[in-house]
Amino acid sequence: MVTERLALRELRLDDAAAVADGAGDRRVAKFLLQVPTPYPVALARRWVQGRIEWWDEGRGVTLAITRRTQTRTLLGTVSLRRFARDRRAELGYWLAQPAWGFGFATEACRAAIELGFRELELSRIYAQVLSGNDASRHVLEKLGMTSEGTKRQHVKKGRTMHDVHLYGLLRSEWLAHD
């Protein structure tokens, strides 16, 4: 899948080192629930393998985010974790710190949302954001997602309980703005 500046491609096992390096960066990992710092490459390889298997199992899709002109260099990932019975998916994404501030997250997520509504025929796409991740909240708002509330002290990261902000977009809302 190609956007104006990006290519979203299938994850490959040889992306594991870039996943470990990018997602394992403290600045990135602090907003990702299950990513340790440092992130061992062996653990990242297991994550990549599991995400590759998602598609075959009907559980969703995780795509590598790259520049159109440099498809080997991983900037991050974007995913739709699918719940087929309910025709919904959870949008998830991360970008390595050097890729922050260029609008890549918005561009990649917009493409994933289009895939979800057009190809997967979803009725709803939602995202959950840890409190304090204002950049991600801004991305979701730019995508037209609606703030649906806050789950207070919902998840534990490290030794601290964190609030989680929920955002959602319905197919009908997406079609009205498409």
- CATH of residue 73's domain is 3.40.630.30
DSSP label at 86? G
Give pLDDT, residue 34.
Answer: 86
Question: How many domains in the chain?
Answer: 1
The CA dihedral of 167, 16, 38, 135, to the nearest 10 degrees, is: -30
Rounded to the nearest 10°, the torsion over CA 45, 12, 57, 7 is 130
Kindly report the pTM of this predicted structure.
0.96
Q: Which 3 state secondary structure label does DSSP give 108?
A: helix
What does the alpha-carbon distance between residue 145 and residue 127 come to, in Å, rounded to a whole number? Answer: 9
**pLDDT tens string 98-118:** 999 999 999 999 999 999 999
Among the listed residues 129, 140, 118, 124, the one whose alpha carbon sits nearest the alpha carbon of residue 84: 124
Residue 1 inside a domain? The answer is: no
Q: Give me the domain span that covers residue 88.
A: 6-177
pLDDT tens digit at each of 178 positions of the chain: 999 999 999 999 999 999 999 999 999 999 998 899 999 999 999 999 999 999 889 899 999 999 999 999 999 999 999 999 999 999 999 999 999 999 999 999 999 999 999 999 999 999 999 999 999 999 999 999 999 999 999 999 989 999 999 999 999 999 998 7
